[in-house]
Structure 1
């Protein structure tokens, strides 16, 4: 068995691996067999990253987002913390939102974009003429809670009880593989918002140090592999794909300047 590296950064061999990946794929890291661990958004449209605080989930989101921007994708970055994904702020292919009201409105706008893309697919076939869009949720669980409180303050007579922002997010989760829209979610999404079927749309799950309950929810068939989840070194995660394949992985770590350079084609 190959030992995992202590750190995986943008060195020459890693850069060569990135350069040969197709536009639908991004490198998550390297597994214990020394082979690349990737996500293919054409097969696994939504990605969930869950760790305890300080566990590196922001770095994983940054690294994945930069790779898809490099290949021409657009991104809607929802960064309520205002610092975690600020490297992407100002990029012409990125819409960056930090205020809860702006995040709410941006999500509501996704509903129309989903429908527009469905209409394109109906007329021209799957994926024709559609740019990939990734929706990046930094601190997604906390953001959903804030959005729920925001909706209670702005909801008027006749408005639905459930925020249209949540409805739009669910639409993207279910339609993403057809209309080239993908969700990268940091946290543990509330079942009261997405429901069990919405949460099941994350076919790639990246777990760092997480509570036992989180592990059982997202990798129920792989519980024995969770024994070392509390002893993972920084940058080491378990990657669960399609609920049954679990790979311990050293994640690729791009600094903010490296992510910006990768996104803009400089490196």
Structure 2
């Protein structure tokens, strides 16, 4: 089987209709092969993004974080590796940048969930690499359930009842979860999934997809609607920071017809920010 080529090597704001970022009920994930934007709906649960470094995991987290902040949701980024420096000056984004603060925050959220205490709607993003490794190894308590991954599992199990959505990136599905990945995460984004990854997080009963040419940001979106290929929306650090601080387009403006976006003008809006030297491409 030969997969169809991606419509674009990268999907940026310039490739979308101007109103599309605010048109859906949730953030834009990217664009499918049918050139239609794919959205993360409000009813979607937690999101798992399985991708090796360099395949777009950090870009996916950054793009979702900026859009959630733009929509007024409180955003918390757990990032030991320092990939999200763009979020440091954001009013709606709080960055936890060391193992101790990451674990302390997860224990606080787990305690909130266990006690059934309501709280503001929030999105918690967990960066891949060092952050996930610290969840497996770092301990605040000597008991067997004292790792950060145990606290995160508690948040995943019942956090949506308390307004908490988790978006987690990792290189592979953590072994302690095994086949629970489908139950914990209703939406999965898989970059060139291995047979093992597909077995744990792919579409149930469907054969693993054949290996296809590598493209940064090219992922399988697996949710209740099935499996589709899409190209993730890519925001640079500067675009994410500006988008997060800009209010959404009003419904009246949203109904106006727009052409394609232009990114060569000065930074008059969140949609007109050119890529600057030094922006991350992960």
TM > 0.5: yes
Q: Distance in 1 between matches of 2:6 and 2:174?
A: 36
Residues in 1 aligned to 2:146 and 2:28: alpha-carbon distance in whole angstroms:
34
Of 5, 8, 30, the residue aligned with 2:8 is 5
- Compared with structure 1, are the counterparts of its residues 146 and 7 closer, same or farther at alpha carbon in structure 2 (3 Å cutoff)? closer
**In structure 1, what is the Cα distance between the partners aligned to 2:52 and 2:66?**
23
Q: Give the C-alpha shift of residue 3 in structure 1.
A: 6.0
Structure 2 length as normaliser, TM-score?
Answer: 0.77
For the pair 1:96 / 2:95, whether they are aligned, the reply is: yes
1:191 aligns with 2:191: no
Quote the Cα distance in structure 1 between the aligned partners of 2:186 and 2:71. 22
Q: 2:125 aligns with which of 130, 136, 139?
A: 136
- Contact 1:2–1:34 under 8 Å retained in 2: no
**Conserved in 2, the CA contact under 8 Å of 1:148 and 1:163?**
no
Determine which structure has the larger helix proportion and give its number. Answer: 1
Q: Deviation at 1:164?
A: 5.9
Shift of 1:165: 3.3
Instruction: Indicate whether 1:44 and 2:44 are aligned.
Output: yes
Q: Give the TM-score of the pair, scaled to structure 1.
A: 0.81
Q: For residues 11-22 of structure 1, what are the structure 2 equivalents within 5 Å?
A: 11=14, 13-22=16-25
Aligned-residue offset at 1:67:
0.6
| Residue 113 (structure 1) aligns with | 112
Number of residue-to-residue matches in the alignment: 243
Residue 212 of structure 1 deviates from its aligned partner by 2.3
In structure 2, list runs of 5 or more residues that go unmatched: 247-268, 271-282
Give distance in 1, aligned partners of 2:6 and 2:76. 36
Seen in structure 2, the aligned counterparts of structure 1 residues 144 and 51 have a Cα distance that, compared at 3 Å, is closer
Deviation at 1:198, TM superposition (A): 5.6
SS at match of 1:221: coil
State the 1:46 CA deviation.
0.6
Asked whether the equivalents of residues 135 and 147 of structure 2 are also in contact (C-alpha less than 8 Å), the reply is: no
1:197 offset after TM fit, Å? Answer: 3.0
The answer as to whether partners of 2:173 and 2:181 remain within 8 angstroms in 1 is no
1:209 equivalent among 154, 178, 192: 192
2:207 to 223, 233, 239: 223
Listed as ranges, the matches of 1:218-257 within 5 Å are 218-219=201-202, 220-224=204-208, 226-228=209-211, 230-242=212-224, 245-257=226-238
Cα RMSD of the aligned pairs, angstroms, is: 2.4
2:253 aligns with none
Deviations 1:190-246 (A, max 9, x none): 232x4643663111111112322112221143325x114x4142221111113x611
Partners of 2:60 and 2:97 lie apart in 1 by 19
Q: Secondary structure at the match of 1:95?
A: strand
Paired residues of 1:237 and 1:251 also in contact (CA < 8 A): yes
Unaligned runs of 5+ in 1: 121-129
2:151 to 141, 149, 168: 168
Distance 1:189 1:97 in 2: 22
CA-CA distance at 1:259 after TM superposition? 0.7
When residues 251 and 27 of structure 1 are mapped into structure 2, their CA distance, relative to the original with a 3 A threshold, is: same
Distance 2:143 2:17 in 1: 48
CA distance in 2, matches of 1:247, 1:85: 28
